[in-house]
Chain A
Amino acid sequence: MALTASDTDEVHLLGRIAAGDKLAFEALFRAYFPRLSRFVGRMARSAPLIEEVVNDTMLVVWQKAASFDGSCKPSTWIFAIAYRKTLKSLKASDEPVESDAALYEDDDGNQPEQLFSRRQLQHTVALALDQLPAAQRAVMVLTYYHEMAYGDIADIVECPLNTVKTRMFHARHRLKDLLWNERESSR
């Protein structure tokens, strides 16, 4: 595991947080809130849920900072907590993943011969991602949106390396099919 300069900074911050330094905690919170809320947002798609899950995650970071043992990157450790909190909140809210699909349907998307605009494509990808099972979606989001190596993802979702690869493989095929269907139906 090669630590970058920012990883080393974060290890240092975690050390200060473990000693009860609230300023260090605030710095880490500001560094992670955007990344975590994007991750949780892609997983859960509900604004009140996003803040709640991110805050729950960062509270655990505060409480358990002393148990971070440096055996993985700080980001891997923090995302693993966020992943567990997200799954828990999805289970608790029992929210169907496609519940807000309507939010992403553009009226102009149904016009014939419409050019496939970037905005539409984003919505289409978001829609297609939403239809994947949470475990596959997490692997995809962490790869494409957070550019994480599969080894780190395996630590975050707590499964073997090969499982991450096969989940990704199946998710890509599923996503390709879904994107194809979305595009065809919006033509």
Chain B
Amino acid sequence: MNGRVFRIDIPAHQAVQELLPWYAVGQLAPDEARRVHAHLQGCAQCRQDLEWEQGMHAEAAQSADPLPPGADMEAALARLMPALGPQERGTAGDGRRASETTGAMPAGAPARWWHTAAANQPSWLRWAIAAQWVAIIGLAALLLRPDDEPAAYRVLGSGVAAGGNLVVVFQPNTSERELRRILQAQNARVVDGPTVTDAYLINVPSAGRARALQALRAEAGVKLAEPLDAGSTP
């Protein structure tokens, strides 16, 4: 026992200290006001601070001029009225519904931007998903965009200019590994294909084309191999 009867409850004192300005201007919820009132009975420091707060409030009330010097309401209004442009259509109803259905915020809490920025907010998600669809459709359109020279009108002979000198059709059950081996064995490169008839236009070194043709025809995986020359019909 140190002889002191009262000990200040530090957290409660600090909480009341923080609330004093709003107690002085009469802007506390009833339960908070009661709590501050009760604490003031036993705390001389808070009573003294409250006096200062009331002084500040009285000071502010005294100095509340109708308008700051130089501010002219009629002039400001006359400038603003002709400048009123079009109005934005509101989304208030949507935002309200969103907060009510998710329960992400207490009822009546304002839906401010830093709340609605949360990733699980439907209003935010709607826009994100809409943006995703725009991106998906855009990319799909890029992929599906027809070439300058549509494949339906292309004849294999037109590939000659692009460097193809053999046409090969592989057996339907040829694996990609097998196909790759066959082509690599002849030092061949695919220039185009598969076409609608499953043919590939390939290029082999022109010096060894006849030998490559023989070799290709000897492959079990090759159904057909034909030379391709400008002007010839495959």
Binding site for B on A (CB under 8 A): 1, 18, 20, 22, 25-26, 29-30, 33-34, 37-38, 41, 47-48, 50-51, 54-55, 58-59, 62-72, 76, 118, 121-122, 125-126, 143-145, 147-150, 155, 158, 165-166, 168-169, 172, 175-176
B112 CB–A CB distance under 8 Å: yes
Q: Are A147 and B96 in contact (CB under 8 A)?
A: no
Q: Are A37 and B60 in contact (CB under 8 A)?
A: no
- Stretch of B75-83, B194-202, B212-220 lying at the A interface: B75-83
B155 CB–A CB distance under 8 Å: no
**A50 proximity list for chain B (CB < 8 A):** 68, 70-71
Complex Cα–Cα for A47 and B68 (A): 8
Which of B18, B64, B90 is the one whose CB lies under 8 Å from A67? B90
Which of B62, B68, B85, B112 is the one whose CB lies under 8 Å from A155? B112
Q: Are A67 and B62 in contact (CB under 8 A)?
A: no
Query: Closest Cβ of chain B: how far from A22's Cβ, in Å?
Result: 7
Q: Are B67 and A58 in contact (CB under 8 A)?
A: no
Complex Cα–Cα for A37 and B64 (A): 11
Residue of B nearest to A55 (CB): B80
- Interface SS, A side: helix
B124 CB–A CB distance under 8 Å: no
**B27 proximity list for chain A (CB < 8 A):** 143, 147-150
Query: Closest Cβ of chain B: how far from A106's Cβ, in Å?
Result: 15
Binding site for A on B (CB under 8 A): 17-19, 21-22, 25-28, 52-53, 56-57, 59-60, 62-73, 75-77, 79-81, 83-93, 95-96, 99, 108-112, 114
Which of A64, A126, A176 is the one whose CB lies under 8 Å from B90? A64
**A126 proximity list for chain B (CB < 8 A):** 63
Complex Cα–Cα for A6 and B53 (A): 27
Q: Are A38 and B80 in contact (CB under 8 A)?
A: no
**A148 proximity list for chain B (CB < 8 A):** 27
Complex Cα–Cα for A41 and B83 (A): 23
Closest 7 CB pairs of A and B: A66-B90, A47-B70, A69-B92, A41-B68, A144-B60, A67-B90, A149-B27
Query: Closest Cβ of chain B: how far from A96's Cβ, in Å?
Result: 19
Q: Are B56 and A71 in contact (CB under 8 A)?
A: no
**A125 proximity list for chain B (CB < 8 A):** 56, 59-60, 63
Residue of A nearest to B72 (CB): A51
Q: Are A65 and B66 in contact (CB under 8 A)?
A: no
Which of B62, B83, B96, B114 is the one whose CB lies under 8 Å from A122? B62
Complex Cα–Cα for A97 and B217 (A): 89
**A150 proximity list for chain B (CB < 8 A):** 22, 27
Which of B52, B77, B83, B95 is the one whose CB lies under 8 Å from A69? B95
Q: A59-B84, A122-B59 are in contact. Are A71 and B67 (CB under 8 A)?
A: no
**B89 proximity list for chain A (CB < 8 A):** 66
Residue of B nearest to A166 (CB): B18
